[in-house]
């Protein structure tokens, strides 16, 4: 009579990787060779330097994985496997596996593990030793089924561009647009693209101004329009439209325009309308108007998440929106208090500067004033303007900074030279405690006003940082302050010290540590980028990290940030206030597994910078 | 082989000597599989528990009355205190001579169709005896298994079939025993599932002979880890 160990097979097939290969008929044969063992809490299953010939499946109970020095590495519970690392190294084990609860273990002979590992890619992928590879594949497979966010621009083009020579007049341009049913025309000279004209240009620049219909089109066109390459991603068009606040972008292939993308093409594909949101912001003349737009932001955010945008795109979009609020408020402020008496630059700090904002964010900003600044003459103006802008940003959902790092604080409203001295001081005489608080200033972007002021300051920071390696030592040490969790155990988050907690702060324990690590490397290689992903490209190019490690960090950040963004989206949809506190109970096993891998990368990279920038002993 | 200093012919009431009893029955049993079974013998009562070959067994029957009800399936799984070995697992279905009660069908999840194709118990009993040779049987609640197999053996061979048993229910009863002045509230349940939960063993779907055999095998390992002395003589535990 055929023996079927259904109970055993079913238990195995409820968990990865057996779940994914449950249709493999060999599994039944494998189940017949399984042995079962009951162990009380505190029993060693595997010890270092012993020979292991078994893949263990935890049917019930829990196991602790300890290093040779008995340092906690991870905890595992029902449905998890262990013993495979030693099997992949010929059976020699280097760690402890110990029961921490009474446990029932299924013992699968090594021969079966090695056979499936060899024959079945799905199975072997699960055990892939290089966790980075696993993470990479997870991210790749997640993004394979997406929309606008990953398709090339060319897939959005519906027709060849309609163009007109620059010497034609407004009337013939309007006639051509009507005839061809287009909302824009490319303006050419000797077959070369020199400008663009849109419906709106005809309305605002010609009709409203009362221009003659015989006026040459060149007089009202936008010269040197924003263009993009057909190889770029459609999502980048969205960001470009938001950044430049334009609604039509000619697409170029091999130097020739092959079409025009307008907001309509984008909106047809997706409905979040972040492009419209930005032009809406610029149209508002009252604080109430801006406030009502800020209420729509959560919708824009969730739509982006639903559209499978990656975290870089979402961070970009949210930051552009944030910047639009700042710009518009400063424009309104200048209308209220009059034009600025001297040049100044309003700078964004932290996540907004890195273009990595999410939905729930407070404001971090400052003001760089021209060196012509004279407290007595100009002080009152900039105080009023800054106070007004910061207060109104607060009303628009960008809450006041609890650390008071805002332009409204006189400390952070200084002439360029004072700023330079500040930074020289912080960099030349670093103090760990102070730097911890100040790290936010090292992500600094000019958003409004005379942006050359911000450029000069950033240049100064880069020069100083390069000349003072001890500063990097401090930054590297600070980047080691916030340790990622070890992983998860049942519904808990597990710390290196074995402490278990219900929730954890994904920003503090996952995202911030990566940003800190990357900032140190970026300062070391003199990168002028602010965005963490872009910084990583520079760091990789500078060869500061071993091959592939920059990519690993980017993947880890993407993984962690994506979990955070999804978590916030879920909170919004549940009518809660979005935050960074994640409860492992709400994570899928996919997310838990890959978060653990990501944390692992972060931890190793933290170790790496400690030694990389160790410097002299202080 | 008999234990050295003891008198072999009459095992005392204190020490159950299945080895000697098997030698006796081997003489009286009719020629055939049952005699072979007894002739193969049993481990000495002084064998340490940890070295005793164990075989978990479970029967499913048409009812609880061994006189009128019949065995319809039987599962076996070999084990030691260290390991349960799926590789040696065996499973038989037996076609009852009388028709199956409708209600027991729903309990066992065995269909009439499956049973109608199975051999009769008398045709597989020889095989079962071979499988049980020199093994100490592990069951949960000895009365049922022993009674039904005794009836079957009397019917098929005309001679009783006796075998040594570790009864996980009995072990649990002793483990949970409290003198009356320490008893508090309801007596602990001795059902297989309830016993398993006490040791944090997983819940299984009951009433499949092989699954239930596995269940009692795991329970015995757990009980051994808590309450039994692996070096003690098997005679301290078998009944």
Give the CATH number, domain containing residue A222: 3.10.580.10
Residue B142 counted as domain residue = yes
Distance CA A429, CA A415 (A): 21
Is pLDDT above 70 for B102? no
pLDDT at B109 over 70: no
Q: A32 — alpha (psi -120 to 50), left (phi > 0) or beta?
A: alpha
Contact B202 A38 (CB under 8 A): no
Looking at residue A46, what is its pLDDT? 95
Asked if residues A483 and A377 have their Cβ atoms less than 8 Å apart, the reply is no
Question: What is the predicted pLDDT for the residue at A498?
Answer: 80
A212 touches chain B (CB under 8 A): no
Considering A227, A247, A269, which residue would you say is the last residue of a domain? A269
Is the separation of the CB atoms in B222 and A103 below 8 Å?
A: no
A22, A122: one domain: yes
Nearest to B200 among A4, A8, A60 (CB): A60
Strand partners, B61: B71
B47 pLDDT higher than 90: yes
CB of B210 less than 8 A from some CB of A: yes
Does B86 contact A8 at a Cβ distance shorter than 8 Å?
yes
Does the CB of B117 have a partner CB in chain A at under 8 Å? no
Using 50, 70 and 90 to split pLDDT, how confident is the model at A336? very high
Rank A448-462, A487-501, B14-28 by mean pLDDT and report only the highest.
A448-462
Most confident of A353-362, A421-430, B94-103: A421-430
State the virtual CA torsion across B44, B49, B54, B60 in degrees, nearest 10. 110
Same domain, yes or no: A163 and A53: no
Q: Is the dihedral of CA A357, A362, A368, A369 positive or negative?
A: positive
Q: Residue A408 falls within a domain, yes or no?
A: yes
B17 touches chain A (CB under 8 A): no
Is A200 among the domain residues? yes
Within an 8 Å CB–CB cutoff, is residue A75 touching chain B? no
Q: Worst-scoring range by mean pLDDT, A51-60, A119-128, A478-487?
A: A119-128
> Which of A3, A6, A38 lies at the smallest CB-CB distance from B218?
A38
Phi, psi angles (nearest 5°) of residue A55: -95, 125
**Does B14 fall in a domain?**
no
Of the ranges A31-40, A285-294, A358-367, the best mean pLDDT one: A31-40
Token pair 């089924």 is at which residue? A145
CB proximity under 8 Å: A 99-128 to B: 101-102, 104, 107
Q: What is the pLDDT of residue A128?
A: 67
**Residues A485 and A581 reside in one and the same domain:** yes
Name the closest residue on chain A to residue B205, using Cα atoms: A7
Residue B100 has pLDDT above 80, yes or no: no
Nearest-Cα residue of chain A relative to residue B220 = A38
Number of domains in chain B: 1
Q: How many Å is the maximal CA-CA distance in chain B?
A: 56
Interface check for A7 against chain B (CB to CB < 8 A): the answer is yes
Mean pLDDT, chain A, integer: 87
Same domain, A255 and A283: no
As beta bridge partners, residue A216 has A169
Determine the structural domain holding residue B207 and report its residue range: 21-236
To the nearest whole Å, the CA of B217 is away from the closest chain A CA by 9
Within 8 A by CB and 6+ apart from A374, the residues are none
- B-chain CB neighbours of A35 within 8 Å are 83-87
**Does A22 share its domain with A125?**
yes
The answer, yes or no, to whether residue B180 has pLDDT greater than 70, is: no
Would you call A41 an interface residue with chain B, using a CB distance cutoff of 8 Å?
A: no
Q: Is residue A459 part of a domain?
A: no
Question: Does A111 lie in the same domain as A19?
Answer: yes
Q: What is the per-residue pLDDT for A263?
A: 77
Residue B1: inside a domain, yes or no?
no
> Do A297 and A205 have their domain in common?
no
**B92 interfaces chain A, CB cutoff of 8 Å:** yes
Closest Cβ opposite residue A34 in set B86, B90, B218: B86
CB nearest A102 (choices: B92, B199, B211) = B199
Out of A1, A34, A60, name the one closest to residue B201 (CB). Answer: A60
Specify whether A19 is located in the same domain as A58: yes
pLDDT digits (tens, 9 = 90+) for A514-571: 999 999 999 999 999 999 999 999 999 999 998 888 988 998 999 999 999 989 988 9
For residue B8, tell me if it sits in a domain.
no
pLDDT reported for residue A125: 78
Is there a single domain that holds both residue A317 and residue A192?
A: no
Tell me how many degrees the CA angle A556-A558-A561 measures, rounded to the nearest 5: 105
**E strands in A364-417:** 365-369, 413-415
My answer on whether A84 and A214 are in the same domain is: no
Q: Across residues A310-331, what is the average pLDDT? A: 89
| Interface contact flag, B210 A3, Cβ < 8 Å | yes
Q: Give yes or no: residues A279 and A252 share one domain.
A: no
Rounded Cα–Cα distance for residues A234 and B44 (Å): 81
Which pLDDT score, from 0 to 100, does residue A138 have?
A: 57
Q: How confident is the model at residue A2 (pLDDT cuts 50, 70, 90)?
A: low
* CA distances (Å), origin A244, targets A47, A177, A258, A324, B153: 62, 24, 21, 10, 93
- Measured between beta carbons, the chain B residues lying within 8 angstroms of A5 are 86, 89, 210, 214
**Distance, CA of A469 to CA of B5 (rounded, Å):** 86
Q: End of a domain among A242, A269, A296?
A: A269
A100/chain B closest Cα distance in angstroms: 13
In which residue are the tokens 């229910």 written? B169
Whether this model's pTM surpasses 0.80: no
Q: Do A7 and B89 touch (CB under 8 A)?
A: no
**pLDDT surpasses 80 at A3:** no
DSSP 8-class letter at A205: I
Residue B202, chain A, CB below 8 Å: the answer is yes
B86 to chain A: closest CA residue:
A32
Assigned domain for B3 exists: no
Query: Which candidate in B81, B84, B227 is best for mutational testing of the A interface (most A CBs within 10 A)?
Result: B84
Which residue in B has a C-alpha nearest to residue A101's C-alpha?
B200
pLDDT tier at A312, thresholds 50, 70, 90: confident
- Of A262 and A423, which is predicted with more confidence? A423
Q: How far apart, in whole angstroms, are the C-alpha atoms of residue B192 and residue A205?
A: 88
Q: Which runs of consecutive H residues, i.e. helices, occur in A223-285?
A: 234-244, 263-269, 274-283
pLDDT at B1 over 60: no
Q: Which of A155-164, A193-202, A369-378 has the lowest mean pLDDT?
A: A155-164
Residue numbers in B near A4 (CB within 8 A): 91, 210
Looking at the domain assignment, is residue A428 inside a domain? no
Q: What is the pLDDT of residues A559-590, one digit of tens each?
A: 999 999 989 988 988 888 888 999 888 888 88
Alpha helices in A444-548 (DSSP H): 451-467, 469-478, 506, 512-524, 532-542
Q: Out of A179-183, A487-491, B211-215, which region has the weakest mean confidence (pLDDT)? A: A487-491
- CATH at residue A66: 2.60.120.10
Residue B9 has pLDDT above 70, yes or no: no
Question: Nearest residue of A to residue B211 by CA position?
Answer: A7
* B108 interfacial to chain A (CB closer than 8 Å): no
Contacts of A33 in chain B (CB under 8 A): 86-87
A38–B221 C-beta distance less than 8 A: yes
Q: Are residues A406 and A297 in the same domain?
A: yes
Which of A37, A38, A42, A101 to mutate against chain B (most B CBs within 10 Å)?
Answer: A38
Residue of B nearest to A10 (CA): B204
Within 8 A by CB and 6+ apart from B66, the residues are B144, B147, B148, B150, B151
Q: What residues have CB less than 8 Å from A375, skipping those under 6 apart?
A: none
B89/A5 touch (CB, cutoff 8 Å), yes or no: yes
Counting one residue from chain A and one from chain B, the pairs whose CB atoms sit within 8 A come to 71
pLDDT value, residue A280: 82
User: B203 and A59 in contact (C-beta within 8 Å)?
Assistant: no
Residue of A nearest to B78 (CA): A35
Residues of B in Cβ contact (< 8 Å) with A6 = 208, 211
Q: Determine whether the interchain pair A60/B202 forms a contact, defined as Cβ–Cβ distance below 8 Å.
A: yes
**Does the residue A456 lie in any domain?**
no
Residues A37, B82: C-beta atoms closer than 8 Å: yes
Considering only CB atoms, which chain B residues are within 8 Å of A59? 202
Q: Could you tell me the two tokens for B46? A: 């002084």
Last residue of a domain, which of A370, A394, A419?
A: A419
Q: Helices A549-573 and A287-306 meet at what angle, rounded to 10?
A: 120
What integer pLDDT is reported at residue A132 of this predicted model? Answer: 54
Q: What is the pLDDT of residues A494-515, one digit of tens each?
A: 887 788 888 889 999 999 999 9
- pLDDT attached to residue A182: 87
B12 within some domain: no
Q: For chain A, what percent of residues have pLDDT higher than 70?
A: 93
Shortest Cα–Cα distance, B234 to chain A (Å):
20
Of residues B4 and B55, more confidently modeled: B55
Q: Could you tell me which of A71, A79, A72, A83 has the C-alpha nearest to residue A45? A: A83
Instruction: Tell me which chain A residues have a C-beta less than 8 angstroms from the C-beta of B121.
Output: none
Return the closest-CA partner of residue A256 out of A190, A300, A183. A190
pLDDT at B159 (0 to 100): 93
3-state secondary structure of A380: helix
What is the b/e burial string over A553-591, where b = at least 16 CB atoms within 10 angstroms of the residue's CB?
bbbbbbbbbbbbbbbbbebbeeeeebebebebeebeeeb
- Give a yes or no: residue A453 inside a domain: no
Total structural domains in chain A? Answer: 4
Q: At what angle do helices A451-467 and A512-524 cross, to 10 degrees?
A: 80
Longest dimension (CA), chain A: 100
Q: Which of A7, A37, A61 sits opposite B214 (nearest CB)?
A: A7
Pairing of strands A35-39, A103-109: antiparallel
The answer to whether residues A180 and A340 touch, using CB atoms and an 8 Å cutoff, is: no
The number of beta carbons lying within 10 Å of the beta carbon of residue A231 is 11
Nearest CA to A383 out of A407, A404, A401 is that of: A407
Q: Which domain holds residue A341?
A: 274-419
A615 exposure class (CB count in 10 Å sphere: 0-12, 13-18, 19+): middle
**Binary contact (A107, B218; C-beta < 8 A):** no
Estimate the crossing angle of helix A469-478 against helix A416-428, to 10 degrees: 80
- Burial tier of A152 (Cβ tally within 10 Å: 0-12, 13-18, 19+): middle
Q: What is the residue whose two structure tokens read 């994985």?
A: A65
Average pLDDT over residues A103-113: 95
Q: Give CA A108 to chain center in angstroms.
A: 41
Say yes or no for a CB contact (<8 Å) between A34 and B92.
Answer: no
DSSP A204: I
Q: Is residue A141 one of the residues assigned to a domain?
A: no
* CATH number for the domain that contains residue B28: 3.30.420.10
Give the strands of the sheet with A72-77, arranged side by side.
A44-46, A96-99, A62-66, A72-77
Q: Is the separation of the CB atoms in A35 and A107 below 8 Å?
A: yes
**Residue A466 is assigned to a structural domain of this protein:** no
């Amino acid at each position: 009579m055929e023996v079927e160990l259904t109970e055993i097979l079913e238990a195995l097939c409820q968990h990865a990787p057996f779940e994914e290969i449950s249709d493999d008929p060999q599994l039944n044969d494998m189940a017949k060779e399984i042995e079962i063992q009951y162990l009380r809490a505190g029993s060693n299953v595997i010890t270092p330097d012993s020979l292991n010939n078994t893949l263990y499946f935890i049917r019930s109970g829990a196991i602790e994985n300890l290093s040779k020095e008995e340092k906690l590495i991870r905890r595992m519970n029902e449905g998890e496997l262990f013993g495979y690392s030693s099997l992949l190294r010929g059976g020699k084990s280097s760690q402890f596996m110990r029961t921490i609860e009474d446990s029932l273990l299924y013992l699968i002979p090594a021969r079966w593990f090695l056979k499936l590992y060899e024959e079945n890619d799905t199975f072997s992928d699960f055990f892939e030793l290089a966790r980075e590879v696993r993470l990479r594949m997870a991210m790749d497979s997640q993004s394979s089924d997406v929309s606008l966010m990953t398709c090339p621009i060319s897939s959005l083009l519906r027709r060849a561009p309609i163009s007109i020579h620059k010497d034609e007049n407004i009337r013939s341009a309007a006639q051509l647009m009507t005839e061809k049913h287009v909302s824009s025309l490319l303006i050419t000279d000797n077959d070369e693209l020199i400008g663009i004209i849109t419906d709106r240009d005809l309305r605002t620049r010609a009709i409203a101004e009362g221009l003659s219909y015989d006026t040459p089109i060149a007089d009202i066109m936008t010269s040197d329009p924003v263009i993009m390459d057909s190889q770029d991603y459609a999502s980048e068009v969205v960001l470009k439209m938001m950044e430049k606040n334009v609604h039509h972008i000619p697409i170029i292939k091999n130097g020739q325009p092959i079409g025009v993308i307008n907001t309509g093409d984008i909106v047809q594909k997706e409905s979040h309308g972040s492009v419209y949101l930005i032009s809406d912001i610029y149209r508002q003349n009252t604080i109430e108007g801006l406030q009502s737009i800020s209420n729509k932001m959560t919708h824009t955010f969730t739509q982006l998440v639903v559209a499978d945008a990656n975290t870089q795109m979402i961070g970009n979009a949210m930051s552009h929106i944030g910047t639009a609020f700042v710009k518009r408020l400063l424009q309104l402020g200048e209308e209220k208090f009059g034009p600025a008496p001297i040049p100044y630059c309003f700078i964004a700090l932290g996540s907004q500067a890195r273009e990595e904002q999410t939905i729930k964010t407070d404001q971090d900003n400052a003001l760089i004033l021209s060196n012509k600044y004279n407290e007595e003459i100009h002080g009152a103006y900039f105080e009023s303007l800054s106070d007004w802008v910061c207060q109104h940003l607060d009303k628009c959902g960008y809450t006041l900074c609890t650390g008071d790092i805002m332009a409204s604080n006189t400390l952070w409203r200084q002439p360029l030279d004072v700023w330079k001295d500040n930074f020289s001081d912080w960099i030349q005489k670093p103090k760990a405690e102070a730097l911890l608080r100040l790290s936010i200033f090292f992500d600094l972007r000019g958003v409004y006003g005379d942006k050359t002021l911000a450029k000069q300051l950033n240049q100064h920071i880069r020069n100083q940082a390069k000349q003072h390696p001890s500063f990097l030592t401090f930054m590297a040490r600070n980047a080691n302050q916030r340790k990622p969790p070890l992983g998860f155990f049942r519904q808990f988050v597990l710390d290196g010290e074995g402490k278990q907690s219900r929730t954890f702060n994904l920003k503090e324990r996952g995202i911030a540590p990566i940003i800190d690590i990357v900032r140190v490397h970026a300062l070391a290689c003199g990168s002028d980028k602010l965005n963490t992903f872009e910084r990583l490209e520079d760091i990789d190019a500078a060869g500061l990290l071993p091959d592939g490690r920059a990519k690993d960090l980017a993947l880890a950040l993407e993984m962690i940030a994506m979990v955070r963004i999804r978590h916030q989206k879920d909170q919004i949809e549940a009518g809660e206030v979005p935050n960074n506190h994640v409860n492992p109970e709400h994570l899928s096993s996919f997310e838990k597994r890959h978060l653990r891998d990501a944390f692992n990368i972060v931890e190793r990279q933290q170790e790496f910078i400690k030694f990389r920038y160790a410097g002299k002993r202080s | 082989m008999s234990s050295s200093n003891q008198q072999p012919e009459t095992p005392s009431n204190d020490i159950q000597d299945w080895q000697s009893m098997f030698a006796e029955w081997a003489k009286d049993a009719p020629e055939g599989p049952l005699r072979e079974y007894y002739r193969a013998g049993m481990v000495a009562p002084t064998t340490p528990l940890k070295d005793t070959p164990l075989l978990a067994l479970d029967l499913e029957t048409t009812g609880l009355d061994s006189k009128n009800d019949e065995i319809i399936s039987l599962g076996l799984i070999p084990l030691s205190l260290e390991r349960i070995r799926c590789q040696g697992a065996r499973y038989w279905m037996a076609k009852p001579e009388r028709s199956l009660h409708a209600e027991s069908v729903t309990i066992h999840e065995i269909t009439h169709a499956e049973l109608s194709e199975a051999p009769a118990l008398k045709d597989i009993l020889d095989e079962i005896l071979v499988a049980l040779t020199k093994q100490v049987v592990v069951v949960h609640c000895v009365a049922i298994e022993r009674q039904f197999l005794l009836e079957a053996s009397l019917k098929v061979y005309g001679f009783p079939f006796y075998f040594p048993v570790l009864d996980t229910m009995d072990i649990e009863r002793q483990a949970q025993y409290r003198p009356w002045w320490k008893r508090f509230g309801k007596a602990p349940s001795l059902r297989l599932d309830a016993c398993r939960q006490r040791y944090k063993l997983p819940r299984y779907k009951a009433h499949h002979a092989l699954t239930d055999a596995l269940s009692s095998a795991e329970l015995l390992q757990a009980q051994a880890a808590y309450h039994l002395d692996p070096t003690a003589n098997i005679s301290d535990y078998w009944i």
